[in-house]
Amino acid sequence: MTRLNTSRLCTISLACALLAGCNLAPRYQQPPLPVPDNMAPALPPGGNAADALPLPESGPMAWQDFVQEPRLRRLVALALEHNRDLRVALLAMERARAQYGITRADLLPTVNATGAANRTHTADDLTTAGRPNTSGQYSATLGFSSYEIDFFGRVRNLNEAALQEFFRVEENRRSVQLSLVAEVMNAWLQLDADARRLLLARETLRTRQQALELTRRSHALGASSALALAQAQASADSARVDAAAFTSQLARDRHALTLLVGTPVDAALLPDAAAQPEAPPSDKAGTIPTLAAAAAPATALLAIAPELPSAVLLHRPDLRAAEHVLRASHANIGAARAAFFPAITLTASVGTASNALSGLFDGGNGTWSFAPQLRLPIFDAGRNRAALRVAELTRDQALAQYEKAIQTAFREVADALAERATLDERLVAQRSLVQASQRALELSDARFRLGADSYLAVLDAQRSLYAAQQTEILLRLAEQVNRVTLYKVLGGQWSNG
């Protein structure tokens, strides 16, 4: 008889263990990419894939390796330490970690120790003769209440959903950090470009003021007309307006950089052009300031492989966050399915009790209780079925959002590659345009001084040269910003390992 009971007990225990290992959540499989397998960069007319340099295969690339300029590297480090948006993201991650700890605790019973004392005085008329009016009761118990045996995986699936939420928030923190690094680099490059434009505007103003003084003297001697003098004045005033506008823009750029970094920025960390208050003197009208013309890159050169596999996009933190949302939705389906099955909760305690504190732990005063509870859904007016349908639709919605995020990422990379494909050609053409405009200005000025042409031709040449120089600075900025954009949209990683 004893062997039979032991056999039944083992069978019941094994069945409970198998039920406890049951998980009703659908098995997660990573969806196929809803984009082409490769991201081939657009090539300029007449170009070929061999012209593109391959990306490094060691990804991910840390921002410290990507940023080659020491001052910019120091600024990025300061931003990662002081930026408030990143600090909020870090706190959100820690909050999600703590929330996951709360959910995980439901997997184990919560054991509490309880001590109680009760002293009661009874009225004389209510007591039996010879018995005291005051009585006491003392108890000490150890136990747990309403612990759910997770036969069908409801608690484990809720725990898995909380874990995926923590992973999602962590990926959001990485996304904020990646965006912050890119924004600091872009703000620094923008500050550098606007400082170069200001230097150019100040140099142009200086040369036009020199030309205005010469025209005034010539007009005073009767060698130049009043029209030429008015045109020279208008040209100088236009340059003065640009110099004032770029001065205020430069101040706004510094404020934006300070906000991103989260702490005052030392002038020693600013670009050389921003640290130089005035342009170097020049005796020749239209000369490009040496500092404004310099184009030393502040970031690592980012070359693009002829065919980049689309799977590298899955390393982007925003896509990983979207995938964690999709995984959590699968776990929520498992929890919703478990609601159709019985739920067993246990309440148990063990302790001791006595009417005298001194006899609380004497023999024979032990107490215990064991109260299992079975809850079986019979009729809920379709609540559980509707909850399951909501969980399934949430899964489908998360899948659509995940696929849309992949398609958006693919487009961002494709746009950056298309921009990259023509930047070098545009820069070469712009440099040639600046040189040609410089030569046209020199010839126009010479013809005006010889009386062979009007001052209007000189003004047109000045405006053309000035516009070409400004465009060249903006193109250099676009080329460097494109590198930063590629680093960001690729998630800082290019290998599929």
pLDDT band at 59 (very low <50, low <70, confident <90, very high): very low
- Residue 160 — pLDDT band, cuts 50, 70, 90? very high
Helix, strand, coil % (nearest 5) of the chain? Answer: 65, 10, 25
Q: pLDDT exceeding 90 applies to what percent of the chain?
A: 34
Cα separations in angstroms, 434 against 8, 460, 461: 94, 14, 11
Lowest mean pLDDT among 164-168, 216-220, 410-414, 471-475: 216-220
Q: Give the side-chain half-sphere CA count within 13 A for 275.
A: 10
* Integer CA distances (angstroms), 278 to 69, 254, 453, in order: 23, 17, 33
Average pLDDT, the chain: 81
Closest CA to 19 of 144, 159, 156: 156
pLDDT score, position 57: 43
Instruction: For 166-218, give the DSSP string.
Output: HHHHHHHHHHHHHHHHHHHHHHHHHHHHHHHHHHHHHHHHHHHHHHHHHHHHH
| 403 backbone dihedrals φ, ψ, rounded to 5° | -65, -40
Gap between the Cα atoms of 381 and 17, Å rounded: 32
Q: Is the pLDDT of residue 81 over 90?
A: yes
Tell me the H-state helices in 262-382. 272-275, 290-293, 317-338
The confidence score (pLDDT) of residue 278 equals: 53
How far apart are alpha carbons 445 and 232 in whole angstroms? 12
H/E run at residue 109? none
> What distance in Å separates the CA atoms of residue 389 and residue 18, rounded to the nearest whole number?
27
Q: What is the C-alpha separation between 317 and 93, in angstroms, rounded?
A: 14
Least confident interval from 82-96, 114-128, 258-272: 114-128
Instruction: Name which of 212-216, 259-263, 430-434, 463-467 the model is least confident about.
Output: 212-216
Considering only CA atoms, which of 456, 467, 454, 460 is closest in space to residue 441?
460
In angstroms, the CA 272 to CA 290 distance is 12
Domains of the chain in start order, with CATH, are 25-107+151-341+382-489 (1.20.1600.10), 111-124+131-149+343-376 (2.20.200.10)
- d(CA 55, CA 58) in angstroms, rounded, equals 9
* pLDDT value at residue 307: 65
Q: Say how far apart CA 482 and CA 205 lie, in whole Å.
A: 31
pLDDT beyond 50 at 251: yes
**Residue 10: is its pLDDT beyond 60?**
no
Q: What is the pLDDT of residue 40?
A: 63
Lowest mean per-residue pLDDT among 54-68, 200-214, 295-309, 459-473: 295-309
Ranges 119-128, 143-152, 217-226: which has the least confidence: 119-128
The reported pTM is 0.80
Burial category of 74 from C-beta neighbours within 10 Å (exposed 0-12, middle 13-18, buried 19 and up)? middle
User: Cβ distance 24 to 330 under 8 Å?
Assistant: no
Asked whether the predicted pLDDT for residue 257 surpasses 90, the reply is yes
Q: Taking 50 as the threshold, does the pLDDT of residue 29 lie above it?
A: yes
Residue 56's pLDDT is: 44
Contact assessment for residue 194 and residue 257, using Cβ atoms and an 8 Å cutoff: no
Whole-number pLDDT of residue 184: 94
What does the alpha-carbon distance between residue 198 and residue 243 come to, in Å, rounded to a whole number?
6
pLDDT, position 254: 93
| 193 Cβ contact list (under 8 Å, min separation 6) | 473, 474, 476, 477
**The predicted structure's pLDDT at residue 220:** 85
- Say if residue 406's pLDDT is above 90: yes
pLDDT at 494: 52
Average pLDDT over residues 119-126: 76
* Percent of the chain whose pLDDT exceeds 70: 83
Closest CA relative to residue 203, chosen from 148, 305, 138, 276: 276
- Model confidence over 127-155: pLDDT tens digits? 776 566 777 788 888 888 888 888 888 88
Please count the other Cβ atoms lying within 10 Å of the Cβ belonging to residue 205. 21
Phi then psi dihedrals of residue 115, to 5 deg: -120, 135
pLDDT at 403: 94
Q: What is the pLDDT of residues 168-207, one digit of tens each?
A: 999 999 999 999 999 999 999 999 999 999 999 999 899 8
For 373, residues 6+ apart whose C-beta sits below 8 A from its C-beta are: 344, 345, 346, 347
Tell me the C-alpha distance between 424 and 422, whole Å. 6
**For strand 343-354 and strand 366-370, is the pairing parallel, antiparallel, or unpaired?**
antiparallel
Averaged pLDDT for residues 374-391: 90
CA distance 309 to 36: 9
Question: What is the per-residue pLDDT for 58?
Answer: 42
pLDDT of residue 153: 86
371 pLDDT above the threshold of 70 = yes
Place 493 in a pLDDT band, splitting at 50, 70 and 90. low
Q: Is the dihedral of CA 36, 39, 44, 48 positive or negative?
A: negative
Predicted pLDDT at 281: 46
- Alpha-carbon span 294 to 273, nearest angstrom: 9
**Structure-block tokens of residue 476:** 């250099």
What is the token pair recorded at 43? Answer: 């090539």
* Extended beta strands in 37-132, E state: 38-39, 111-121
Q: What is the pLDDT of residue 364?
A: 74
Record the tokens describing residue 254, joined without a space.
């510094």
Q: What is the pLDDT of residue 492?
A: 76
Closest of 348, 293, 488, 495 to residue 409, by C-alpha: 488
**What does the pLDDT look like over 268-315, one tens digit per residue?**
888 888 876 554 444 444 443 444 444 455 455 555 555 677 888 888
Instruction: Tell me, rounded to whole angstroms, the distance of Cα 332 from its chain centroid.
Output: 26
Q: How far is CA 446 from the centre of its chain?
A: 56
pLDDT at 11 over 80: no
CB within 8 Å of 106: residues ≥ 6 apart: 148, 155, 158, 159
User: What phi, psi does 138 have (nearest 5°)?
Assistant: -130, 145
pLDDT score at 186: 93
Token pair, residue 382, equals 């379709």
The predicted pLDDT at position 315 comes to 85
Q: Give the pLDDT of residue 166.
A: 93
Query: Which residue is it, tokens 């053309």?
Result: 464
Q: Per-residue pLDDT for 487 more than 90?
A: no
